[in-house]
Structure 1
Amino acid sequence: MNKKRCEWAEVSDLDRDYHDNEWGVPVYDERKLFECLTLEGAQAGLSWSTILKKREGYQLLFDNFDIEKISQYDEAKVEALMVDARIVRHRLKINSVITNAHAFIKIQKEFGGFSQYLWSYVDDKPIINHWATMAEVPATTELSDKLSKDLKKRGFKFVGSTICYAFLQATGVVNDHLVNCPCYANNNI
């Protein structure tokens, strides 16, 4: 069988590197989970390539996703972020990062970590899908609907079901590498 990378990753070297080394690999680190949630929310209405190009800006401007620091951001910080082209300058998206930091901290306290909360949805075992084509990969699932509903109830913003499904894929909770992709076998644990 001829192995071929998932089609969406063939846009640029940046996309290929992200696909080959991060996408679909299980994530348990709290900061990394918050980064993924932030970047997926920032993507709403934009291409993933756009967000990857701005990723370093997000890391720098959002204090390497230090959740405690972000939760302390004030209006002056928001205004500074609004004029910095290294990130998506969208007030609601920027404010959502701060709001989500507060909600994230509450989940950490309740569950002992956001990772424990997230992975409890799948009994700590990644869902391994067996898609042959990108057309088969859903935009949402019952799991993403459930996660979205609970995150919204807990005060999170920019966590619709489509964003949540992309987050589940990015963090390896769901492995949606196509069966013919070399990364499928690598992540099929």
Structure 2
Amino acid sequence: MTQETNANATAHATDAISIDLIIGEDGLARPPWAAGDPLLRAYYDTEWGMPVRDEAGMFERISLEAFQSGLSWATILRKRPAFRAAFAGFDPERVASFADADIARLLGDAGIVRNRRKIEATIQNARATLALRDGGSDLAELVWSFRPAQTPRPLRIAEIPVKSAESEALAKRLRAEGFTFVGPTTMFALMEACAIVDTHLVGSHRRATSGVWTA
């Protein structure tokens, strides 16, 4: 094998696994965002990219993705216990009943993100969730109905999409159902988090572990 041929073979082999992955002390490959902070690492290893198929779970994810807009996910993750306490465990029925006094309470809660528009959006989205239920539909089933035929297979972080035709269609449908703070980029992030698409980098120890996608 010539030196040039050997170099090409090495480059091809390297290209089969993302060069953006970081190998941890445990020998597992993770993307940079999940390689350092213990909280993010645990979230990546056990939760992100795993299926969420129940109504309350999907409502929580939509709510937290909305609050994350403009902020880091680490900020939201650290505040998640406070969010759950403040929003009644993200029970759609209880959140849908929130009134002005609850909004004032939430605006005074330093444990969460005190953004009036996002708080009001969460309450509105709880009501929209119940309206779906009353119409014989289910929030989780609706979101999953926008699962694409294929999932991305990114080798590098730069190859991970920020939105898709399906996330744009999902955002449009949710808006039509009365939801807010559900733009196509936010909905793509939701789809990633819930395993509707698999954007784990090729070579990550979490790639194709959701049971939804096989490669």
SS, match of residue 175 in structure 1: coil
Letter in 2 for 1:162: T
Shift of 1:88: 0.2
Letter in 1 for 2:52: V
1:103 aligns with 2:128: yes
Shift of 1:179: 1.0
Instruction: Write 1 or 2 for the structure with the bigger share of helix.
Output: 1
Contact in 1 for aligned 2:198/2:208 (Cα 8 Å): no
1:42 aligns with 2:28: no
Q: Which runs of no fewer than 5 residues in structure 1 stay unpaired?
A: none
**Structure 1 residues 83-118: Cα deviation after superposition (integer angstroms, max 9, x where no partner):** 111110000000000000011112233343212211
Paired residue for 2:155? 132
Letter in 2 for 1:80: R
SS, match of residue 28 in structure 1: coil
Equivalences, count: 187
Of 200, 203, 207, which residue of structure 2 is paired with 1:177?
200
Contact in 2 for aligned 1:100/1:155 (Cα 8 Å): yes
Paired residue for 1:94? 119
Q: Which runs of no fewer than 5 residues in structure 2 stay unpaired?
A: 1-16, 18-22
Letter in 1 for 2:56: R
**Structure 1 residues 43-86: Cα deviation after superposition (integer angstroms, max 9, x where no partner):** 01100111001100111111111100000000000000001111
Distance 1:60 1:78 in 2: 14
Distance 2:84 2:57 in 1: 10
Paired residue for 2:84? 59
1:144 aligns with 2:167: yes
Contact in 2 for aligned 1:7/1:134 (Cα 8 Å): no
Letter in 2 for 1:150: R
TM-score normalized by the length of structure 2: 0.82
Between 1 and 2, higher relative CO (CA 8 Å, sep ≥ 6) is seen in: 1
Letter in 1 for 2:183: G
Contact in 2 for aligned 1:107/1:117 (Cα 8 Å): no
Distance 1:11 1:63 in 2: 31
TM-score normalized by the length of structure 1: 0.92
Paired residue for 2:187? 164
Distance 2:88 2:71 in 1: 23
CA RMSD of aligned residues (A): 1.7
